[in-house]
Amino acid sequence: MKTDSRQSPSTYWRWFPASFALAGIILFIFATFGPPASSSGFASALKGFFQSAAPEYVNDKAHYRMLPGPGSWLFAFVLGMALGGFIGGRTLKIPVRDIPEIWEQKFGNSRIKRYAATFTGGFLILFGARLAGGCTLGLFISGSSQLAISGLYFGVVIFAVAMITARMVYGKAGKETQS
Amino acid sequence: MIAKIWLGLFSGIAFGFVIQRVGATNANVMARAHLMIDSDIPKFMLTAVALSAIGLFGLQAADVGRTLILPTSIVATGLAAVIFGIGWGLAGYCPGTAWAAVGEGRMDAIFALLGGLAGTAVFAQFHEQLVPLLYDPTNVGQISLADWLGGKAVAVAVIAIGFGLCVWGIGKIWEN
């Protein structure tokens, strides 16, 4: 039997106290920086890359002009997210998998298939986030905390579409993995 | 400037750690949330937003911090959300969780991150064409619920109660 992260779900924090921890961090960010955001970190990273590879291109493109490069809060934040994930992963006894269980049950253990799917998914979430001006954090969470209609509107639609998409991707396989 | 970078790094570490600890960086948990099997992550997200809205109301009353309301473009915000939702449902990662999941050592998240860089690069390339075409014509400005309801306190109460009801509803409907 394959390892299943749901064998030890109790090792994940319970959602209610965890939501207080996250809200505390969000408020700390509002107080010390401003609205938290993560999709901008991707653009900052790319801006840094193009600044050394093709500086003319960066000056030419509005999207890079409007965002800071990697020497910024925005890029430090996403880098910190990776560090936080690293520390979290090293200190929790839940096996880290390259292919999620539910995906493996439906599509098998082909790494190429899974990586192609996450590459495509990653492309879509960032293309969408850059068009809207923010992601789950930068638009939905920070927007809704500020009572912004844009955040609430974005939030309702991303949840609805993600739920429909997951149903189309996994079909009945989802229910079969019930623990 | 250096202080801002340290603050960003510290905030990111704390944020990444908490979302890892609650299971949001696990694409299996996220898929089960989207399939209405496991309700913990949506309840966690919505509660955090409701608490943040209340806390931010307090911060603003004390004149602490900085806020910035993003504009609503009926077409672009909606279309972007549809594209985003397809990617989120397919991969099980969003931009923030992808970074934390990479740190956690998930190989599929590395590809989500690479795909994200590609998506950003493509959007940035066509920003000058796409924004006037999709965003600007239906941009209704930096509207907020406080404008609609005639006051911040009322709007915060509506958000807190509304999100609270959503959490309650999700708990009832999911896992059934």
- Tally the C-alpha atoms within 13 A of residue A62's C-alpha that lie toward its C-beta: 10
Band (A173; pLDDT cuts 50, 70, 90): low
Q: Which of residues 17-76 of A touch B (CB under 8 A)?
A: 18-36, 38-39, 41-43, 45-46, 61-64, 71-76
A7, pLDDT greater than 50 = no
Give the residue-averaged pLDDT of A153-176: 89
Q: CB–CB of B44 and A18 under 8 A?
A: yes
Model-level pTM? 0.94
pLDDT at residue A129 in the model: 98
- Given a cut of 70, the residues of chain B with pLDDT beneath it are none
Q: CB–CB of A100 and B26 under 8 A?
A: yes
Shortest CA gap B161–chain A (Å): 13
Shortest CA gap A1–chain B (Å): 17
Q: CB–CB of A31 and B64 under 8 A?
A: yes
Taking residue A108's Cβ as centre, other Cβ atoms within 10 Å add up to: 10
For residue A71, which residues of chain B lie inside 8 Å, CB to CB?
A: 1, 5
- Residue B59 exposed, middle or buried by CB count within 10 Å (0-12, 13-18, 19+): middle
For residue B77, which residues of chain A lie inside 8 Å, CB to CB?
A: 132-133, 150, 153-154
pLDDT at residue B175 in the model: 72
What residues does each domain of chain A span? 9-96, 99-179
Nearest to A88 by CA among B44, B29, B7, B106: B106
Task: Choose among A12, A62, A167: nearest Cβ to B127.
Answer: A62
Pairwise CA distance, residues B33 & B36, whole Å: 5
Taking residue B141's Cβ as centre, other Cβ atoms within 10 Å add up to: 12
pLDDT at residue A174 in the model: 57
Here the ipTM equals 0.97
Shortest CA gap B172–chain A (Å): 15
For residue A47, give both structure tokens.
């801006």
Q: What's the mean pLDDT when you consider all of chain A? A: 92
The count of CB pairs under 8 A between chains A and B is: 505
pLDDT at residue A8 in the model: 42
For residue B96, which residues of chain A lie inside 8 Å, CB to CB?
A: 38-39, 78, 81, 135-137
Least confident piece of the model among A39-48, A167-176, B155-164: A167-176
A178, pLDDT greater than 60 = no
Is A164 part of the contact surface with chain B (CB cutoff 8 Å)? yes
A176, pLDDT greater than 90 = no
For residue B162, which residues of chain A lie inside 8 Å, CB to CB?
A: none
Is A131 part of the contact surface with chain B (CB cutoff 8 Å)? yes
Q: Which residue of chain B has the CA closest to A74? A: B8
Chain segment A94-141, per-residue pLDDT in tens: 999 999 999 999 999 999 999 999 999 999 999 999 999 999 999 999
CA B146 to chain centre: 20
pLDDT at residue B160 in the model: 97
SS3 B59: helix
Task: Choose among B17, B47, B155: nearest Cβ to A84.
Answer: B17
Interior CA angle at A156 toward A150 and A157, to 5°?
90
Element (H, E) at B104: helix B95-104
